[in-house]
Amino acid sequence: MTISLESRSAADHEPEGLSIWPRSTRAERGGDLSVGGASLTETAERFGTPLYVLDEQEVRDRCRAYRTAFPGADVLYAAKAFLCRGLINWVREEGLGLDVCSAGELTLAVTSGFPPERIVLHGNAKSPEDLATAVRLGVGRVVLDSTSEIARLAALVPAGERQQVMVRVVPGVAAGGHAHIRTGTEDQKFGLSVADGSAQHAIARVLGQPRLELVGLHCHIGSQITTVRPYVSAVRRMIGLMARIREQHGLELPQLNIGGGHGIAYRPGEESLDVPTLAARVRAELTDGCGKAKLSVPRLTIEPGRAIVGPAGICLYRVLAVKRTGTQTFVAVDGGMSDNPRPALYGVRYAPRLIGRHSTAEPRCVTVVGRHCEAGDLLAQDVPLPGDVHPGDLLAVPVAGAYHLSMASGYNLVGRPPVVAVVDGTARTLVRRESLEDISVRDIGV
């Protein structure tokens, strides 16, 4: 079964408020919820908290929905959102490629059996190890982000071989849910500017390297984008640059990568990007623009990450304390910014839910906070929870699959949570809990 990537209304699920949860979510007796046929309360008791639960079928269905929306395109899962061996296998089995940003992500993928030719490596500052690993493992394409990478990569390619590359371009399009995740403008670290000529200079240098094969252009305009228009504008500008490349160098580039950044809803009522509409508008713009420029329509590549894994994840926390200070009520849980730094980084707002028991108490507006020694350790501000919430209660946070564990830290040495996959009523560990022994073994002494 495939699913739409559009938001659904709260009426699609009972009880109210489950519109942003995985589609397998069901209300059970005693205030419990099940996901993928597995009880969240029982899963928390079995594996402990904090705990990440990932709905395998939701991930697979979202992969299939992207392939349906973008037939004939290369759909690459953006590994930075979250990566583990289990997820790598799901993505491979569903026919997607991978977008990686380091030798670590690349090596994990290839040693898990992912075909290297279906992998794209990029990043704004690739280390010598990143580039050497890409060449050694036979990565499909490398996205060049600076002129210094050109000669460095070419020197690593064996004689008689050619490495396919793309040049990341700054299209001058501002989009994204926060200033820190807008990457399509001149005032950030990614890509090469068309406006100042650095992109054109890099393209000319690549064409002068016999061991590099320029196959296309890349752009990524931002993240958590919920409207189609910025993508259409970026495509239009990229077509213009491709036309100039043909005029100056006599070369028609066969590929165009427009990145990802597709927005999702974190709370009921929020907007998400309509992916089928995006696909239709981008395809129409490519066809029309290339027709006017007398260019062949390039093969399209997209890089969704958050939109595939984000809505499939739930984080479970146990309440440790409830503190009322003046007009504020703080509900402290056994995790926090070490397993989810996004509220502190971007001001992201979540919708935690009490599970595991029914409550008839009137809702109270509270702030859910973490256990760490930091005033900014806030997980959810001004959210309604039953007024009788107390230590020992279980809270579930939906839309927790992306940029949580992948950005986790070792703050206060509490250890990172495990990841459990649920499908067909069973739960299994994908990533085990980080233990104190794991933390200690890296500290080799005085």
Catalytic position from the list 63, 290, 315, 373: 373
Q: How large is the angle between the packed helices 128-137 and 103-111, nearest 10 degrees? A: 20
Q: How many CB atoms within 10 Å of residue 162?
A: 14
- Cβ-contact 51, 316 below 8 angstroms: yes
Single-letter amino acid code for the residue at 31: G
Which residues, including other chains, have CB under 8 Å from residue 238's CB and lie 6 or more apart? 169, 171, 217, 219, 256, 258
- Render pLDDT for 125-176 as a digit per residue (tens, 0 to 9): 999 999 999 999 999 999 999 999 999 999 999 999 999 999 999 987 765 5
Which residues, including other chains, have CB under 8 Å from residue 50's CB and lie 6 or more apart? 315, 316, 317, 318, 333, 334, 335, 339, 417
Task: Tell me the three-class secondary structure of 8-33, residue by residue.
Answer: CCHHHCCCCCCCCCCCCCEECHHHCE
* pLDDT bracket for residue 228 (50, 70, 90): very high
- Render pLDDT for 382-429 as a digit per residue (tens, 0 to 9): 999 999 999 999 999 999 999 999 999 999 999 999 999 999 999 999
84 is catalytic: no
Structure tokens at 129: 């190890």
CA atoms of 446 and 437, how far apart (whole Å): 17
Query: What pLDDT does residue 190 have?
Result: 74
pTM for this prediction: 0.93
Structure tokens at 352: 């935690």
Residue 50 forms beta bridges with which residues? none
Single-letter amino acid code for the residue at 66: Y
CA atoms of 136 and 432, how far apart (whole Å): 30
Domain positions in the chain: 10-54+311-442, 70-304
CA atoms of 84 and 23, how far apart (whole Å): 22
Query: What pLDDT does residue 187 have?
Result: 66
Query: What pLDDT does residue 184 have?
Result: 40
> Phi and psi at residue 224, in whole multiples of 5°?
60, 45
CATH of domain 70-304: 3.20.20.10
Structure tokens at 7: 């938001």
Q: Which CATH superfamily is domain 10-54+311-442 in?
A: Lyase, Ornithine Decarboxylase; Chain A, domain 1 (2.40.37.10)
Mark 308-345 as b/e (b = at least 16 C-beta within 10 Å).
Answer: bbbbbbbbbbbbbebeeeeeebebbbbbbbbbbbbbbe
